[in-house]
């Protein structure tokens, strides 16, 4: 029976009832909540979030990078061809800060490194001919040989010899790289609004532009349109120690953020920059940045190479863009949303009134009414009622003395 009543009550219609409550405390709470809600929407929705604007968050972007600088390394002078990879590129560029070099490698046979699994041996039967260990350096020949100038033995392999771990020469870090500069040119296009912007200051002619780019250094306040960044400045802003970066290498993200309010002149749309280390420093296996490359040549008619393991800084340029401009449709939607949200004031005050103030249920009796439409009275029943009332009336009249 109770379930049936719930089902029937589901189809009841509810309509708000206007009731004026003469309570000063409740009135103060109601107007205060109204003021807070309206203030929040005006500040957050319209001023902070600019909800009255049509926005675009997926602009078209182009990035060009170029490393600049020279350094003295021993008796050699290094330029961008030596330490930059690539010397000019797109949104990724790296510079070598330290090298580990293995000279005069050639194809042949030599002893495997002793840290490789199952590489240590005492006799030939300990080494399986043709076996390749993917953590090692080559294919085993099946012989157990002396490990270079040491007394112990390891399995012989066919590879580029001598192996890197034995013959590597660790060069000092390129400390002068702290003054290298990276040129970052970024163009961004918002096709919805047909606005194209760049991060380089406009100049009257090409000569003035080149002169400006040759001498300027980026500064947040003094030179916000200069695209030249010192590596030392980038490391500092990323809260990294440059000496430590020279030792282990690292990946740093250069974030270019465009926040453009197109209700004002587009010339005020300029980028902001942020720098952050991207590789995991706490995870030793995944931290740092290095890569290997080789320089090939022929020596005494034999193909040889110099293997270089390079540690350095890799810069990943990441561009974000957001542009907004006034549009009536989002303005109407945001305004209606704000006006609708004011209704929460009534809900809060009703809860306070019925929970804390209405101790004698005076307000609840007035607020909630149940209206039931009574069925009409049949005509026959109404006539019989009138006749019975008339006969009773005549009887009473006859019993009254005149």
Q: Dump pLDDT digits (tens) for 10-69.
A: 777 777 777 777 778 878 888 888 888 888 877 877 777 788 888 898 999 999 999 988
Q: What share of residues in the chain are helix, strand, coil (percent, to 5)?
A: 35, 35, 35
Preceding amide of 111 cis, omega within 30: no
Task: Report the percentage of the chain scoring pLDDT > 70.
Answer: 86
Contacts of 74-81 spanning 24+ positions with Cβ under 8 A? 78/174
Mean pLDDT of 283-295: 84
- Rounded CA-CA distance 249/252 in Å is 10
Task: Report the percentage of the chain scoring pLDDT > 90.
Answer: 47
113: number of CA atoms within 13 Å, CB side? Answer: 18
Domain 1-52+327-367 has CATH 1.10.287.940: yes
Closest CA to 246 of 289, 292, 300: 289
Can you name the residues that pair with 277 across neighbouring β-strands? 252
Can you name the residues that pair with 322 across neighbouring β-strands? 259
**Same topology between domain 1-52+327-367 and domain 58-104+167-325:** no
Structural Rg of the chain based on CA atoms: 42
Element (H, E) at 243: helix 242-248
Q: Domain ranges in the chain?
A: 1-52+327-367, 58-104+167-325, 113-162
How much is the pLDDT for 398?
A: 44
Tens digits of residue pLDDT in 220-271: 888 888 999 999 999 999 999 999 999 999 999 999 999 999 988 888 888 9
- Rounded CA-CA distance 308/132 in Å is 23
- Rounded CA-CA distance 293/311 in Å is 11
Residue 390 has pLDDT above 60, yes or no: no
Q: How confident is the model at residue 382 (pLDDT cuts 50, 70, 90)?
A: low
From 117-126, 182-191, 194-203, the region with the lowest mean pLDDT: 194-203
Q: How confident is the model at residue 394 (pLDDT cuts 50, 70, 90)?
A: very low
How much is the pLDDT for 358?
A: 60
How much is the pLDDT for 349?
A: 79
Query: Encoding tokens for residue 354?
Result: 């019925």
Residue 122 has pLDDT above 90, yes or no: yes
Mean pLDDT of 314-341: 87
- Give 195 or 366, the one with higher predicted confidence: 195
How much is the pLDDT for 399?
A: 42
How much is the pLDDT for 239?
A: 93
Residue 360 has pLDDT above 60, yes or no: no
Mean pLDDT of 165-192: 92
Residue 359 has pLDDT above 70, yes or no: no
- Rounded CA-CA distance 234/253 in Å is 9
Q: How confident is the model at residue 401 (pLDDT cuts 50, 70, 90)?
A: very low
How much is the pLDDT for 379?
A: 56
- Rounded CA-CA distance 233/231 in Å is 5
Q: Phi and psi dihedrals of 384, rounded to 5?
A: -65, -35
Q: How confident is the model at residue 400 (pLDDT cuts 50, 70, 90)?
A: very low
Binding residues for ATP: 181, 309
Cβ-proximal residues to 226 (8 Å cutoff; 6+ apart), any chain: 201, 212, 213, 216, 217, 218, 219
- Give 253 or 74, the one with higher predicted confidence: 253
Q: Give the CATH H-level superfamily of domain 58-104+167-325.
A: atp-gated p2x4 ion channel domain (2.60.490.10)
Q: Three-state SS for 370?
A: coil
- Rounded CA-CA distance 98/245 in Å is 9
Mean pLDDT of 338-347: 76
- Rounded CA-CA distance 330/308 in Å is 58
How much is the pLDDT for 393?
A: 46
Mean pLDDT of 104-108: 95
Closest CA to 232 of 307, 274, 310, 175: 175
- DSSP letter string over 260-300? EETTS-GGG--EEEEEEE-S-SS-TTT-S-EEEEEEEEEET
Binding residues: 181, 309
Mean pLDDT of 342-366: 71
């Amino acid at each position: 029976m109770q379930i049936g009543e719930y089902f029937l009550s589901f189809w009841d219609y509810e309509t708000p009832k206007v009731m004026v409550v003469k309570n000063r405390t409740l009135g103060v709470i109601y107007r205060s909540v109204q003021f807070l809600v309206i203030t929040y929407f005006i500040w957050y929705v319209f001023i902070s979030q600019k909800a009255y604007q049509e926005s675009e968050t997926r602009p078209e972007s182009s990035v060009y990078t170029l490393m600049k600088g020279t350094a003295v390394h021993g008796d050699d002078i290094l330029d961008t061809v030596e330490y930059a990879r690539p010397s000019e590129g797109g949104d990724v560029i790296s510079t070598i800060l330290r090298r580990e070099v293995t000279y005069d490698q050639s194809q042949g046979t030599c002893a495997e490194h002793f840290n490789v699994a199952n590489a240590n041996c005492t006799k030939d039967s300990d080494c399986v001919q043709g076996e390749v260990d993917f953590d090692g350096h080559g294919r085993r020949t099946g012989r157990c040989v002396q490990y270079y100038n040491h007394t112990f033995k390891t399995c012989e392999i066919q590879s580029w010899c001598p192996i890197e771990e034995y013959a590597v020469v660790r060069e000092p870090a390129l400390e002068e790289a702290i003054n290298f500069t990276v040129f970052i040119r970024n163009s961004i296009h918002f096709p919805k609004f047909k606005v194209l912007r760049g991060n380089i200051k406009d100049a009257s002619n090409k000569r003035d532009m080149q002169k400006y780019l040759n001498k300027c250094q980026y500064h947040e306040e003094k030179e916000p349109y200069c695209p030249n960044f010192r590596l030392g400045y980038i490391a500092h802003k990323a809260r990294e120690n440059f000496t430590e970066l020279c030792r282990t290498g690292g990946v740093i993200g250069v974030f270019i953020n465009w926040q453009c309010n197109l209700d004002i002149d587009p010339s005020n749309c300029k980028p902001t920059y942020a720098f952050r280390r991207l590789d995991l420093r706490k995870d030793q296996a995944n931290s740092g940045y290095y890569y290997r490359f080789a320089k090939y040549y022929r020596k005494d008619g034999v193909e040889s190479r110099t293997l270089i393991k390079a540690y350095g800084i890799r810069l990943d340029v990441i561009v974000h863009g957001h542009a907004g401009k006034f549009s009536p449709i989002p303005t109407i939607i945001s305004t209606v949303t704000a006006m609708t949200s004011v209704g929460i004031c009534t809900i809060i005050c009703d809860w306070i009134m019925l929970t804390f103030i209405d101790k004698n249920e005076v307000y609840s009796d007035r607020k909630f009414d149940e209206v039931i439409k009574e069925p009409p009275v049949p005509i026959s029943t109404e006539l019989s009622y009138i006749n019975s009332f008339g006969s009773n009336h005549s009887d009473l009249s006859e019993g009254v003395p005149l």
